Amino acid sequence: MKKMLVSITLWCFASIAIAQHHESTKGINIIPIPVSVQEGMGSFTLLPTATIGYTPTAAVKEIAQQMQQKIARATGFSLAKSKGLSNATIQLQILTKRDTVLGNEGYRLQVTPTAVIIKANEPAGLFYGVQSLWQLLPAAIESKTVVNKMNWKIPEVAILDYPRFVWRGLMFDVARHFFTKQQVENYIDEMAKYKFNILHLHLTDDEGWRIEIKGLPRLTEIGAWNVKKVGYFGTFTPPKPDDPRNYGGFYTQDDIKEMVAYAQKKFVNILPEIDVPGHSLSAIVSYPDLSCTPGANTYHVRSGEEIMDWSHGAPPIALIDNTLCPANPKVYTFLDTVFTQVAKLFPFPYIHVGGDECPKNFWEISPAIHQLMQKEGLKTMEEVQSYFEKRIEKIVESKGKKFMGWDEILEGGLAPNAVVMSWRGMKGGIEAAKMKHRVVMSPTTFAYLDYMQGDSIIEPRVYATLRLNKAYSFEPVPDSVDSKYILGGQANLWTEQVYNTRHLQYMTWPRAFAVSETVWSPKANKNWLDFVNRVEHQFKRLDIEQVKYAPSMYDPIFTATKNAEGGLQIELATEVPNLQIHYSFDNSFPDQFYPVYSTPLTPPEDAVMLKVITYRGNKVMGRMIAMPIKELKKRAGIQ
């Protein structure tokens, strides 16, 4: 009876602490941070005799089996099914009376010295409670093989948790570089651990068409393949006529069905994107009569060579026409076929139709486009695209789906029921929300995972930088809009520069941790220093799981300026606290015995290299960075 009273007391305390600001304690390092955490004094130990009981539905049984498999893999314990729910060591309970606090995805997780109990209104809530439970166990639970002589303790705790937003997305571009079905499913595994619930698959682009469409075989026979090139995407030399076009791939419709079913077991929905009318070179190469431009039959699927002139800003000037023709009836017949099959393959209620970065210089010289403008009373090329988007919306809605596009679909007039995904900052999302349209915020400013994570001298070169602390400052609801129009937020990973899964992981983690906390956790619970501590605990788990991540948050930040005499002054800073920056100018490799940075540096007269590395005490934290003095002078504007 005494234990029961303690349990009830902890549970009630958690219930009234919904709005309480969370301060992480030693044993609780969950990402995303829960709504409320109340830690007890004891702990629960997972033993070989542990049992599992659960509400007898197919969905809950699947969650229980996933638990059994993971526990058996790391601990060797079989976690037998209990004959009854209430006497099981681990209990997964669907509430018979709905808890109005939890909604559809919330949960209550209670750990006592004798039991682990997760309660929720829906199976999704139980699944998310289990994800938090994994993070309460020792990091070794992520091992792919049995770990012997491990004390599998879980701290005594009462957690109340539910998401802030219904839309918690990651976009995975499989068009620029193809990733296999298994690689996509592995990505789903990782994102689901941190309570993301939408995988946005960018399925088509200039570099490849990745989905089988029956009746349009050339899309995958021709449109899915290009020439393999390595280097800096966008600067490649054009392929030679006889270069083999054998790099790429596509998903069969059976592959798609299997991926969708796999994602559903992890409570992840897949949002398909067919990017039109721009970014459509792979479709045009497959079926040249979809273009307004004569000579499209000479085009090839892009392999990373330059096809756009961005020197004048956006939209770009196309060097070849990668747009579908809004004046061509065949385009709408083609898209009706595509969206009919896409709608059947993906049960998620939305279809994303792109709409971004559509060049219009070929439209401007097209007689067919000018005839369309005269017939429909269109005055600008933006209105031509709006005409196209409104027709596509009708096609998408005829399939029983909701129409979604990037914020360029605002230009020239927004389709009546369109949902806007705002990527060019927050402006487009604000404008759409004020027009009472639903919005998903995914701004480059905070949520573009393809950007560099640290200094360009060490990171794979991309045109912009997004550090972890900037990503963590993401707030999807601007003060000027009604929050009911903001569905949530999303991080986007474009893969022009991402060739393999190890680099895919490197670019995703830890910045996706920041976005997951933004879209799941209460705004008031976010705290940068506490988050950094929890990220470091997650790194231990990723190490054991052999998932790659970027250590960029430990690397110094360089600021180069002119001093009063016109010479170079170098300031160094760290993104995370409690680091010492050791440096050298003599071309040797600094360690913890070298000078520690404390005030701005002036390099010796003939020095050619500044080398830096960060430590925490005697432990190396950052990477050795060799920064040429010449580069710093260039940044400072010194000739």
Catalytic residue positions, numbered: 205, 279, 357
Question: Could you give the angle at the alpha carbon of 272 between the alpha carbons of 267 and 277, nearest 5°?
Answer: 160
Where do we find the tokens 């083999």? 244
Contacts 24+ apart (CB under 8 A), 529-532: 529/577, 530/22, 530/23, 530/24, 530/33, 531/31, 531/33, 531/472, 532/576, 532/577
CB 82 within 8 A of CB 117: no
Residue 162 one-letter amino acid = Y
User: Could you tell me the maximum CA-CA distance found in the chain, to the nearest angstrom?
Assistant: 85
Residue 245 in tokens: 């076009």
Please provide the DSSP assignment of 96-128 as one string.
SS--TTTTTT-EEEEE-SS-EEEEESSHHHHHH
Please provide the DSSP assignment of 426-490 as one string.
SHHHHHHHHTT--EEE--HHHHBTTSBSS-TTTSPP-S-B--HHHHHT--SS-TTS-GGGEEEEE
Nearest to 133 by CA among 151, 148, 153: 153
CB 308 within 8 A of CB 317: yes
Residue 507 in tokens: 């670019």
What is d(CA 339, CA 178) in angstroms, rounded to the nearest whole number? Answer: 21
Where do we find the tokens 């879980």? 154
Question: Could you give the angle at the alpha carbon of 609 between the alpha carbons of 608 and 610, nearest 5°?
Answer: 140
Handedness of CA 119, 121, 122, 127 (dihedral sign): negative
CA distances from 90 to 124, 194, 277 (A): 17, 21, 52
Q: Pairing relation of β-strands 167-173 and 198-202?
A: parallel
What is d(CA 71, CA 75) in angstroms, rounded to the nearest whole number? Answer: 6
Helix (H) or strand (E) holding 611: strand 609-616
Residue 409 in tokens: 């679909």
What is d(CA 619, CA 610) in angstroms, rounded to the nearest whole number? Answer: 21
CA distances from 282 to 219, 273, 309, 441, 471 (A): 7, 14, 19, 28, 33
CB 43 within 8 A of CB 24: no
Using DSSP, state whether 252 is helix, strand or coil: coil
Residue 2 in tokens: 């005494």
Nearest to 451 by CA among 397, 515, 536: 515
CA 283 to chain CA centroid, Å, is 26
| Backbone phi and psi for residue 580, each to the nearest 5 degrees, phi listed first | -110, 135
